[in-house]
Chain A
C-alpha cells in the first residue's frame, strides 16, 4: 500500500543534520527522497514532522467521518423504527379515544330507547370497551414513557365503565337516577379521560415527527466533505513534496471516503424524502383522521344527549355543531369519501333536529334510534367504519415506509463505516511509506 504508483526515487543518505529547535525528533532522521533535494535546510528537516501531522490529520478525518457516519446511520436506522412505533402508539391512542366515544355514543343512544336496549347495541358497546382495554394494555407495553398517563387513564375508564353499569342497572329498574349515573359517566369521560388522550395523541405525534426529523441536520455532509478535503489536501501535499503524483494509500482512502460520502448523501436524501412524505402524509392522516373520528363520535353523543334533554337540547346542538365543524375542518383538502359519508350523516341529523324542533320528540327519538338506511345510526356507522379503515391503512403505510427508512442506514453501517475505517488505515499506511524514506 505504501508504494507510490510511479517509481520511487532512491533515497540518498545524507549527513544527519543537527537538531534544530522547533523541528522535533524528525531532525534525527537522515533520510529523505532525492526528489525533494531542492527542499533543503529548515524546510527539509520539517518534512517528517509534516508527514506525521498529515498522518494524524487524515486518520483523524477518516475516524471522525466514520464516527459521524456511525452516529448518523445508527440514528437513521433506529429513528425509522422508533417513528413507526410512535405512529403505532398514535394510532392506539386515537383508537382508544374513538372507541370510548363510540361506547358513550352507543350507551347514550340506547338510553333513548324505551325498555331494554337492543342486544346489538349492548354487544357493540361491550366490544368497544373490550377493544379499549386491550389497546390500553398494548399502549402501556409499547411506550414506557406513556405508562403513568395510561395508568391514570385506565382508572378513569374503569370509573366510566362502573358508572355506566350503574346507569344501566338503575335504568332497567325504571329509576331516573340511571340518567344521573349516565351524566356522571359522561363527565368522567370528558373531564378525566379525553384530555389525557388528546395530550397523548399530541405527544406521540411530536415524538414521531422528532424521530423522522432526526437526520435533518447536515453533520454527515459537512464532516464528510471536510474529511474528503483533508485527504485530497494530503494527496496534493505529498505529490508536491515528493514529486510523485499518486500515493496509493491516500488515493484509496480518498476514494473510500468520497464513495461513502456520496452513498450516505443518497441514503439520507432518500430517507429525508420518505420522512417528509410521512410527516406530511400518513402520519398527518393518522393525527387528523383520528381527531376527526373522535369529534364525529362526540357529535353523535351530543345528538343523543339533545334528545335526552327532551326539548331543551340547544346546548347539546351547539356542541354538535362544534364537533361537526372539527370533523369538517379535519377533511379540508382531503377525505373525498369521508366527506360524502359525513354529509349523509349530517342530513340524517338535520331531520332529527327538525322533528324535535317541531315538537315531534317521539318521532325524533324513533328516527334517531332505528337502523333504517337513512337513519343517523346507519349513516354514522358508515362514516365511522370508513374513518377507521383510513386510519388502519395509514398505519400500515407508516410501517411499510419505516422499513424503507431502515434499509439504507443499515447498509451504510455494514459497509460505509468499515470502509472509512479502512480509509483511515490506508491513509496512515500510505503516508508511513513516505515517512520511512526519512528513517
Chain B
C-alpha cells in the first residue's frame, strides 16, 4: 500500500476545493444596494416673445352701469354669478402684499384680493361672497377660457397678445419689472448682474425681459417667486427679477434683501382678467373700478398693502375705447 500521506494530500486539496465550491454554490447571490439618486434643476422655459401688434393693449370696454345687487340685469353674467351664490376668482396665495395666505388666520389677503372683495360687494352686497382658486401664472388664461373662474386677479399684465385670448378690465395698477439683490452685495446696477445667477418664475415674460437687459446673466428658474426667494435665501442665486409689486412682497419677508434703485425696465399694467365673451362683466367691473378710484377705496387699499414698500402712488388713469 502506498503511503497514506502521499494519498491524503490530493484528497485534502480536493476537499478544500470542494468546501470552497460548495460554500460558493450554496451561498445566495445577494443584490447590491441602490445607487443614490441625483437631484435635478428645472430647465428654464421661456415664453414666446409677445408681438405688440396693437397700440391699445391697456384699453378696455367703456364702463357700464353699476346697478344695485338686487337690480342686476336678468340675463347678465353678474346675475348668473349671483344665482350661483359666490364669485369665483383665480388668485395667487404666495405673492405677499398682492395675494398671500395669512398664516395666522389661514385666509388669503392682499391688494389683489381687495378687488375681489369689491366686486363681490358690487354683485352680492357683501364683500365676502367669493371663492378663491389658487392658480399659477401659467393657469391664468386657461382657467378663464374654460370658465373655471369668473375673474382672475393675479398680477395679470394686459397686452395685445392676451387680448386675443381673454378680456381685461381697465388698468388697476401700473407695475414695472425690477431686480431684488442681497443687501451689502455690492450689486448696484443691472450691469453688475452680468455673470451672476438671477432667478425668475419659469415660463414668465420676466425671463425674456431681463435677458434683453442683461444677456450675460445666468437665469435660474423656479416654480414661482416664493421658490426664487427660497433659493435666494439659501444662497443659490444672487438676485431675483420680477414686478416691483412682487419684489416688494419678497423684500418685506427678508430684511437682508433690497430692490435695486432706478426706473423699471418694463411696464406691467395689471387688469382684472375676464372670459373674452363676458363683456358685460368687464363693463360692470370697470364701473366698479371707476367708483373705487373716485371714492378713495383704491387709495385705501394701496396705502394699506403697497405704500410701505413702494411709496406714495395714485390710481392709474383708465383707458377705454374698445
Contacts and interface: CB of A to CB of B under 8 A. Distances in A.
Interface in B19-62: 19, 22-23, 25-37, 39-40
Contacts of A219: 22, 25-26
B26 A75 contact: yes
Contact of A176 (B7, B19, B226): B226
Nearest to B130: A359
Interface stretch (B68-76, B93-101, B180-188, B276-284): B93-101
Interface size band for A: 35 or more
B57 to A, nearest CB: 27
B131 interface: yes
Contact of B26 (A71, A172, A179, A203): A71
Nearest to A203: B31
B165 interface: no
Interface residues of B, number: 58
Interface in B71-129: 85-86, 88, 93-96, 100-108
Interface stretch (A108-116, A119-127, A286-294, A342-350): A108-116
B312 interface: no
B253 A177 contact: yes
A332 to B, nearest CB: 25
B86 A60 contact: no
Interface string A128-154: 000000000000000001101100110
B295 interface: no
Interface string B123-151: 00000000111110001000000000000
B11 interface: yes
Given A206-B31, A309-B134, A312-B139, A171 B36 contact: no
A152 B33 CA distance: 12
A152 B36 CA distance: 6
Nearest to A144: B33
A149, A181, A312, A365 pick with most chain B CB within 10 angstroms: A312
Given A112-B106, A145-B33, A361-B131, A179 B101 contact: yes
A25 B3 CA distance: 12
Contact of B25 (A70, A148, A213, A217): A217
A179 B31 CA distance: 40
A392 interface: no
Contacts of A115: 103-106
Contacts of B88: 359
A215 B22 CA distance: 11
B191 interface: no
A170 B7 contact: no
Contacts of B107: 114
B316 interface: no
B230 interface: yes
Contacts of A236: none
A200 to B, nearest CB: 6
Contacts of B31: 203, 206-207, 210
A210 B32 CA distance: 12
B194 interface: no
B223 interface: yes
B227 interface: yes
A215 B28 CA distance: 9
B229 interface: yes
A310 interface: yes
B101 A175 contact: no
B1 interface: yes
Contacts of A75: 23, 26-28
B106 A176 contact: no
B11, B26, B139 pick with most chain A CB within 10 angstroms: B26
Interface of A: 25, 52, 56, 59-60, 63-64, 67-68, 70-72, 74-75, 79, 111-115, 145-146, 148-149, 152-153, 166, 170-172, 174-181, 183-184, 191-192, 195-196, 199-200, 202-203, 206-207, 210-211, 213-215, 217, 219, 309-312, 359, 361-362, 365, 435
Interface of B: 1-2, 7, 11, 14-15, 18-19, 22-23, 25-37, 39-40, 85-86, 88, 93-96, 100-108, 131-135, 139, 223-224, 226-227, 229-230, 233, 249-250, 253-254
Given A56-B7, A176-B100, 16 more contacts: A71-B19, A75-B23, A112-B106, A148-B36, A171-B103, A174-B103, A176-B253, A177-B253, A180-B94, A183-B226, A184-B230, A200-B33, A200-B34, A311-B132, A311-B133, A365-B106
11 contacts: A60-B14, A75-B28, A171-B103, A177-B226, A177-B229, A180-B94, A183-B223, A196-B36, A311-B133, A311-B134, A359-B88
